[in-house]
Chains A and B, each alone.
Chain A
Amino acid sequence: MRFRLLMSATLIGACLFAINLTVAVAQSETPRSGGTLTIARGQDSNNLDPYRSGTDVDMQVTGSNVIEPLLEFDEQLNLRPKLAERWEVLDATTVRLFLRQGVVFHDGTPFNADAVIFNHEHRTNPERPGNLVAWVAKVAEFRKVDDHTVDAVMTEPFGPALLHFALPSMFGQVSPTAIQQLGEDLGRGPVGTGPFRFVEWRTNDRITLERFDDYWGEPAHLERVVYRVIPEASARTLALLTGEVDMILNPSPVDIPSLKTNPNVTVQQTEGTRAIMFMINTRQAPTDDVAVRRALVAGTDRHLIAEHVVEDAGAPLTGHVATGILGYRDLSDFWAYDPDRARQMLDEAGWIPGPDGIRVKDGQRLELDHWYYRNLRRDGEVSEAWQSQMREIGVHVNLQLMEYGAMIARARSGPNPEHNVITLSHGVPTGHADYLYSLQFHSDFLPPNGFNLNMYASAELDALIEEAYGALDFDEARGLYEELAVRVADAATWIPMYVTMENEVIANHVRGYAIHRTDASIFLWDVWKQ
């Protein structure tokens, strides 16, 4: 009898527990409508007009929250519909876009084919072109088929075009009425089609967005979003821990280990799309010798640097671009750390160790000029660590610290920059490797015209780059990028370092947020607060 009672009690207890658990789970699963999400970041935006600025600090606010592009990347960089419901490749230079119906801008203007055409014309207006116009203009025009269908006609076969349609900084749609009425004032008050509308911007303090109830899709859960500026990294972390803010972007790498063990917050990390590398000037002695360059690469232990210097801010680079980007090729075999091999290569090239360990050839010491900068990610410390690794193989590195803007200006001041090695970071927001290979290896972008600071270009390489980005078939493109990657890696134009890790720290009462691979996209439509 007692046993029966005990069993019943246990059974009832178990049922109650299960019910309680279900209720608790159900409660935490049902999005709650309303509330204000406060996000803290270290810098204020510059200009919220997507045609005047595509930088991260601006796209964080507007990208896909206020301004929507024609297509969109999901968290893994796959394409999906946005303002265009579907698309059809008609021929090598034409893509037909079927636009979503029933979409209005925040000021009530309807979104349709005319709006898309107006946006493009405004963007490519020769008197005041928008930023990134060199890419945007690959689309010669949008031809109207009917009110909700346009044909994107390109100047030449251009593989990345579809991917570019997913970038708010290139094809984000702004209300034509607002463009006409506000002009440059759009920078302080963007008008788009997104789930949130712009409310106000208090300089260096906060930007406020609120839910747009006439959104074409399901309205967002959050009532308001506030982007606060907290320049000091430790103050940002403290603000999260006191509950003053719900989320912080780009936390200081120093704080991440302790935040990971904090039970009230979650650190979300994902590999970003930005590679940090040292570009080697292939036209400046002594790095004009490919044997020397290969030795430098073999003498670099980027895994050690990533683990101990960069830590949570990055992971070792394994290709010219981050994984998952179209055109990625694993180049670890070209970049293996082998200091003995490095020394051997230098010996064979005639560089013999001198009395102080630094190699000498024909009376010249093996000295390199390394231009670098310092930042929160510790790129400065990376260079300093590398200098000691080079010492081990008998190379003397002259570290020349510069402020970033000054360094770039100097590197691009003329056709013959004087660095041997220069630190640079190259993001690929398009998800397509052309964004790297064109900008860094095409002869069009040799200084002073661009960022080909490797000074490595040839007509043959140009042809290969152009063929690769012309391939509309992604499998064909992959094959060509394989060839391109190997060719460039074999010439040892880079000392690869690391790929950024995007870190964001979210308080646990914030639900539905998934970190995105590019450092610019903060998708808030699906987010809610308990």
Chain B
Amino acid sequence: MVKFIVSRLLYSLPILFGIVFFVVIAVDLIPGDPVEVILGADWNPASARALRAELGLDRPLLVRYISYVGKVAQGDFGRSFRDRTPVALEIMRVWPNTLLLTAASLSIAVVLGVLAGVLSAVKRNTWIDGFVRVISLLGLSMPIFWTGLIAIWIFAFYFRWFPVGGIGTWQHLVLPAVTLAAPSVAMVARMTRSSMLEVFGEDYLATARAKGLSERVVVFKHALKNAFMPVVTLIGLQVGNLMGGSVLTETVFSWPGLGQLMVRAIFTRDVPVLQGGVLVMATTFVLVNLTVDLVYVFLDPRVRYS
């Protein structure tokens, strides 16, 4: 098992290199020059040349990439073009906030989504089922920035139950986490429902009932556990969605996270911050996927990794 984990981690390194390379190229292709943006009204050919050399932008792309990889291997993520702060420091200031928001949203998505899906499956074709499915569709269809603003307007402005935005107390977390979770709740619910329905026809459930087990044990311990694999896969993928969607949620709710930092980095062409941010997000995603694979082992004893 340990061998498996280690080899998976090693395999993820080329993936990360590839992602960083892609980002380096993509940022290079964006029209507009970081030196232009930084100097602004102070732009003149001499200053531009000096700044370009200072930022290392006068070297060819491949050289820049290799140099970056080398530095990262030593833990140096470079310095922001904007204010020369170490990128690692800048990211660590805001990354925990995004993690918190993602974790909170994920928890809501899993708990609410699974419960709703189970309920929907058990009460299939009743009004409860229909209700859950319609709400799911709404959650999937409505854009986050709209639902977010409506949530602020109703719960923060009208009822004054929560603050309009910002960070600090648990009340600040509620609206953004719920808004961000909404589409995921919908997807998890639907996936749970369909997966459960597939499992419902299985013989072992009839056996369990024949043994006299309560319906609750049958549903949760036997049916859900067997139906859960596709749901776990989906949850793993949702983490990516949540991290990406956090950009919109962070903007609407003034939540100071990595998403916002990266959007600003794009507009100001702050290449080191962009690269660092992408690397952090990509690494997280890789680790989450690894965790998902390990959870499979726990769920299904038939799964074995050599």
Contact surface of A with B, Cβ cutoff 8 Å: 43-44, 46-47, 52-53, 55, 129, 131-134, 184, 187-188, 202-206, 228-232, 234-235, 238-239, 241-242, 244, 402-403, 405-406, 408-410, 412, 439, 448-451
Contact = CB atoms under 8 A, between A and B. Distances in A.
Q: Please indicate which of the listed interface residues B45, B163, B254, B264 has the most CB atoms of chain A within 10 Å of its own CB.
A: B254
A439 B44 CA distance: 12
A235 B152 contact: yes
A132 B39 CA distance: 9
Given A204-B94, A230-B164, A405-B37, A235 B253 contact: yes
A476 B254 CA distance: 51
Given A232-B252, A406-B32, 6 more contacts: A43-B264, A46-B82, A204-B260, A205-B166, A230-B166, A239-B164
B131 interface: no
Nearest to B164: A239
A410 B31 contact: yes
Contacts of B163: 242, 244
Interface of B: 30-33, 36-37, 39-45, 47, 82-85, 90, 93-94, 145, 149, 152-153, 156-157, 160, 163-167, 251-254, 256-257, 260-261, 264, 267-269
A43 to B, nearest CB: 8
A241 B254 contact: no
Nearest to A186: B83
B166 A134 contact: no
A230 B42 contact: no
B256 A232 contact: no
Contacts of B156: 238, 242
11 contacts: A46-B268, A55-B40, A204-B94, A229-B254, A231-B260, A232-B145, A232-B251, A238-B157, A242-B160, A409-B33, A412-B36
Contacts, number: 117
Contacts of B33: 405, 409
A203 B93 contact: yes
Contacts of A409: 31-33, 36
Contacts of A412: 36, 43
A393 B242 CA distance: 52
B44 A406 contact: no
Given A205-B256, A403-B31, A133 B42 contact: yes
Contacts of A402: 31
B284 to A, nearest CB: 19
B254 A47 contact: no
Contact of B254 (A46, A132, A228, A410): A228
Top 7 closest pairs, chain A to chain B, by CB: A204-B256, A405-B32, A406-B31, A205-B256, A406-B32, A239-B164, A47-B83
B94 A203 contact: yes
Contact of B153 (A203, A238, A406, A439): A238
Q: Please indicate which of the listed interface residues B42, B152, B260 has the most CB atoms of chain A within 10 Å of its own CB.
A: B42
A128 to B, nearest CB: 9
A52 B85 CA distance: 13
A343 B100 CA distance: 63
B98 to A, nearest CB: 11
Contacts of B166: 205-206, 228, 230, 244
B89 to A, nearest CB: 10
Contact of A448 (B30, B45, B82, B90): B45
A52 B83 contact: yes
Nearest to A45: B83
Contacts of A235: 149, 152, 164-165, 252-254
Contact of A202 (B36, B42, B93, B252): B93
B256 A405 contact: no
A184 B45 CA distance: 23
A408 B157 CA distance: 40
A206 to B, nearest CB: 8
A479 B221 CA distance: 90
A235 B44 CA distance: 39
Q: Please indicate which of the listed interface residues A229, A242, A410 has the most CB atoms of chain B within 10 Å of its own CB.
A: A242
Given A202-B256, A239-B165, A405-B267, A134 B83 contact: no
A425 B129 CA distance: 57
Contacts of A234: 149, 152
B190 to A, nearest CB: 30
Nearest to B263: A231
B164 A242 contact: yes
Contacts of A449: 44-45
Contacts of A205: 166-167, 254, 256
Given A238-B152, A238-B157, A244-B163, A232 B83 contact: no
A242 B153 CA distance: 10
A294 B240 CA distance: 56
B41 A132 contact: yes
Given A203-B93, A409-B31, A449-B44, A229 B256 contact: yes
Contacts of A403: 31-32
Q: Please indicate which of the listed interface residues A53, A133, A238, A402 has the most CB atoms of chain B within 10 Å of its own CB.
A: A238
Contacts of A451: 41
B29 to A, nearest CB: 11
Contacts of B157: 238, 241-242
Contacts of A188: 83, 85
A412 B32 CA distance: 11
B41 A203 contact: no
B82 A47 contact: yes
B153 to A, nearest CB: 7
Contacts of A132: 41-42
